[in-house]
Structure 1
Amino acid sequence: MKPNSIITLTINPSLDKSTHFNSLIAEQKIRCEKPRYDAGGGGINVSKAIAKLGGSSTCVFTSGGSSGEMLEELITKEGLESTVIKTKNWTRENFIAFENATKSQYRFGFPGNEISDDEKDKIIEVVSKVKADYLVISGSLNEGLPTDFYQKIAETAKASGIKVVVDTSGESLRKVLETGVYLIKPNIGELAKLIGVDHLELPEVEKAAKQLISNKSAEIVVVSLGPEGAILVTKDETHLVKAPKVEKKSTVGAGDSMVGGMVWALSQNKSLKEVIQIGVCCGTAATMNEGTQLFKVEDVKRLFEGMKG
């Protein structure tokens, strides 16, 4: 693998198929428009976002079967540098359908197929050889993988002096925080669970995030607030950024776009205030497009200029 300042890891990628249809009627055949295919999965989307901003990263992902081959072709067409870890089982597919009559979006996500012990070892081996400033671990785990698998990856990367960025949820996130990482991006509900409470109000978020930081779970905690924006918290700084008001068409890839924007900004030595501003602009811009297309860079630039003004 060639050295790159940013590496993204997607253990459970997906071949995303999206389409339009007129209306959803039970028991009737629903005729759909010609489908669009996109390479999907947390880390892959982060790499795509970084590329849109003019940056570069190496996208590490698993791939199996004919769906995996198509995934690889799509990533090649995106011009992304990549390292492929072959798997016996096929890469999963996801399906996104947009109903024209109601402007409703339906998202069907499928679990990833099992990863063998040899394939697990290969993933750890690839990570152990990474030379980078940042490793972004993003997305869900395949069925059968232990909840501490991301934790093992984080430990391996940290041993090489790499700053680990994690965007996942549930027990996988809780486990990785035992090791301590550079940056995490929970939503407000996930943050509440991490500190052992049922619910958090906005004024309580900063204190909750600083609790994780004081426990050495993360150096930077970015809490996604949905349409309200996000808040970035470190030991010394707090920045709340409101999301610009736009016409929302899809939320697919918005979180990944936000992470991609933030990691790109970090790699460009931007201030932490700019890091969260750029992240929020990328996430917001992604909601302006249908399906799985992420954002248009011109939308990000326009939103960022408006935010600075």
Structure 2
Amino acid sequence: MIYTVTFNPAIDYVIKVDDLTLGKVNRTKREDVYCGGKGINVSNVLSNLGIDSVGLGFIAGFTGDAIEAGAKKLGFQPDFIRLREGMTRINVKIKSNEESEINGQGPVIHDDELEQMFQKIDQLKDGDMLVLAGSIPASLPEDIYERIMERLQGRDIQIVVDATKDLLLNVLKYHPFMIKPNNHELGEMFGIELKDNDEIIEHAKKLQEKGARNVLVSMAGDGAILVTEDGDVHMGPCPKGEVKNSVGAGDSMVAGFITGYLKSNGNYEEALKMGTAAGSASAFSEDLATGEKIMELYKQL
């Protein structure tokens, strides 16, 4: 089974305003509500591709109820821990002449509630896959990813990590199955700006030297590069299309990679191809991509 973890999920309230004017009453032209969070996005796209998963994380209040109901509607199994205080955050995303976001903080997670998460993690079985994605709430220890991966050391559980800078660098010693920085994040880890594919490949291999097994580097419209544990380098060109949405494209790539890897019995070239198709399909859609849209682009690659 595949398990995704979203420590700080959100209800994303996306509104369109023709001309946002501060200090005045503004009326929306369009409103959409989504279940947000990187792990939830991964589970959503996995479901669209016919892959089952379980969503782990923390929810609270009436907005937490909406997250749980939304997960079921999206087609994956929710196994969230319900917090005794607060409410799941609401993120307001305003699309106007400029795009603006107001992101909520999220509820406080107490030590005993975190322990419930550890107990769920401990129940994973050999052959399972765990996806750790996104930022860490202020009420959790900064080394939470490390603590989870340390608990699973020595077990046959493949761990995928999609995080930034130190959060990612600090887990490499636990040899994650796959990590997915984008090209800008990869450069930031080494304090430089990467100018071409050769530099991207060189620094992806440096992350392997630090412990990562497979490094998938997303490059927006330029596609993706995969450096595998076998020493191979695969280039994934991006299909052509009109970019409508950047939110969730990276999460979709992770879901596509996992799907391609599982359906091809571990063929990394197929994993990259499906990952690139899924990431692009979400970028070309108003919401996360449907399975049909992903397969349409997959056939073009």
Answer whether TM exceeds 0.5 for this pair. yes
CA distance in 2, matches of 1:284, 1:105: 21
CA distance in 1, matches of 2:184, 2:86: 33
Mapped pair 1:108 → 2:127: no
Shift of 1:105: 4.0
CA distance in 2, matches of 1:97, 1:270: 41
Counterpart of 1:46 (choices 12, 36, 42) is 42
Shift of 1:277: 1.3
Mapped pair 1:58 → 2:57: no
What TM-score results when the alignment is normalised by the length of structure 1? 0.90
Shift of 1:198: 1.8
Cα deviation code 1:74-129 (max 9, x no counterpart): 11222311211111232111122333xx5x54343333333211122111111011
Cα deviation code 1:281-301 (max 9, x no counterpart): 1111111222xx201222211
What TM-score results when the alignment is normalised by the length of structure 2? 0.92
SS of residue in 2 equivalent to 1:71: helix
SS of residue in 2 equivalent to 1:35: strand
Q: Which amino acid aligns with 2:87?
A: W
What are the ranges of 5 or more consecutive residues in structure 2 without an aligned counterpart? none
Q: Which amino acid aligns with 1:302?
A: E
CA distance in 2, matches of 1:107, 1:229: 26
Whether contact under 8 Å (1:8, 1:60) holds in the other structure is yes
CA distance in 2, matches of 1:219, 1:111: 33
Whether contact under 8 Å (2:17, 2:26) holds in the other structure is yes
SS of residue in 2 equivalent to 1:306: coil
Aligned to 2:32: 36
Q: Which amino acid aligns with 2:128?
A: D
SS of residue in 1 equivalent to 2:80: strand
What are the ranges of 5 or more consecutive residues in structure 1 without an aligned counterpart? none
Cα deviation code 1:132-164 (max 9, x no counterpart): 521001111111322211111122233432010
Aligned to 1:95: 92
CA distance in 1, matches of 2:242, 2:60: 37
Mapped pair 1:117 → 2:114: no
Equivalences, count: 296
CA distance in 1, matches of 2:148, 2:164: 16
Counterpart of 2:222 (choices 225, 228, 247) is 228
Mapped pair 1:9 → 2:12: no
Aligned to 2:203: 208
Aligned to 1:297: 291
Counterpart of 1:281 (choices 277, 282, 286) is 277
Cα deviation code 1:42-73 (max 9, x no counterpart): 11110000000111111112111111111111
Mapped pair 1:267 → 2:262: yes
Whether contact under 8 Å (1:112, 1:141) holds in the other structure is no
Q: Which amino acid aligns with 1:35?
A: E
Counterpart of 2:137 (choices 139, 142, 146) is 142
Alpha-carbon RMSD: 1.7
Q: Which runs of 4+ in 1 moved over 6 A?
A: none
CA distance in 2, matches of 1:158, 1:53: 30
CA distance in 2, matches of 1:158, 1:96: 39
Whether contact under 8 Å (1:250, 1:288) holds in the other structure is yes
SS of residue in 1 equivalent to 2:109: coil
